[in-house]
Amino acid sequence: MRKVPLPDGAKLYLYTAALTALAAGAMSNAAHAVVTVVNDLQAKAVVVITSEDYPELERRVARVKSATLDSVTLDGVDTSDLTKFPEGGEVSRIPLVADKWQRLAHLSELVVAHDVGLGFNKQSQGLW
């Protein structure tokens, strides 16, 4: 594990809702990737990407640039490199809802572990 100091004024938030992946869809190779799938997301929605086909995109957060009934364009998700992103891969999207974030107060550092992800150091908070 390693400690990551937080800069003065940093604010941390924890997502508190259950995460449910939407149906998987084929992803295009483009500067702004398009996922072809039955869609009910709106433009500017925020999603987490999950994919066994594209490990580079696993857990990446992206904003929906545009949406139609049968596709979603992800802003800033560049899949034009066919070496990293071979044609025919699929991704799922996990929508994040704006009002489901809880602010974590009084954190001075994070502890990063291999399988645990991000957490806070209980010892530095006087909890241990």
Angle at 35 between CA 29 and CA 41, to 5 degrees: 150
Using 50, 70 and 90 to split pLDDT, how confident is the model at 25? very high
* pLDDT higher than threshold 80 for residue 116: no
- pLDDT for position 128: 38
- pLDDT for position 117: 45
- pLDDT for position 97: 79
* pLDDT higher than threshold 70 for residue 123: no
Of residues 63 and 11, more confidence is placed in 63
Q: CB neighbours of 41 closer than 8 A, spacing ≥ 6?
A: 22, 47, 64, 67, 72, 93, 95
Residues of the chain above pLDDT 90, percent: 45
Of residues 1 and 96, more confidence is placed in 96
In the chain, where does the domain assigned CATH 2.40.30 lie?
Answer: 18-96
Extract the tokens encoding 122.
């209980």
**Contact, 50 vs 94, CB < 8 A?**
yes
Extract the tokens encoding 4.
């990551």
* pLDDT higher than threshold 60 for residue 126: no
What's the pTM? 0.66
Report the CATH fold assignment for 18-96: Elongation Factor Tu (Ef-tu); domain 3 (2.40.30)
* Model confidence pLDDT, tens digit, residues 57-115: 999 999 999 999 999 999 999 999 999 999 999 999 888 877 777 887 766 666 666 54
